[in-house]
Amino acid sequence: MSAQYFPLPKEEGHAALKALLAAVAPGGTLLYVGHHIGDLGPQQWREVDPTDYYWPADVAGVLKAMPDGEWTVVTDEVRSRPSVPEGAHHTRDTVLRARRER
């Protein structure tokens, strides 16, 4: 399952996120990528609060809180883009790769 720059709103109980996670087959991989929040200027958030959405680190936190052995977080890190066009605002991404064990 791949979710790239996917604005998934946070909600109590994580219902939508858990539905996304349930779509990953046992033995499958979740790749959840987003812009690094530090690269997003205030002009991009005039009408929304970025903390209202799941970022890869938030998803990793939910996975780590699940029963032992259900998920393995393989990668949870910030990566610089190898090539950035002049004037681009996004130079880093947050990357989560996790494997569903069962």
Contact 64, 54 (CB under 8 A): no
pLDDT digits (tens, 9 = 90+) for 20-52: 999 999 999 999 999 888 777 666 666 778 889
Tell me how far apart the alpha carbons of residues 30 and 52 are, in angstroms, rounded to a whole number.
Answer: 21
Contact 54, 8 (CB under 8 A): yes
Amino acid at 48: V
Higher local confidence (pLDDT), 20 or 91: 20
Comparing 1-10, 52-61, 67-76, 84-93, the range with the smallest average pLDDT is: 84-93
Contact 60, 47 (CB under 8 A): no
Q: Is the pLDDT of residue 98 over 70?
A: yes
Q: Domain range for residue 7? A: 2-100
Average pLDDT, the chain: 89
Q: Is the pLDDT of residue 91 over 80?
A: yes
**Using 50, 70 and 90 to split pLDDT, how confident is the model at 85?**
confident
> Count of alpha carbons within 13 Å of 71, Cβ hemisphere only?
23
Tally of structural domains, the chain:
1
* pLDDT for the residue numbered 45: 62
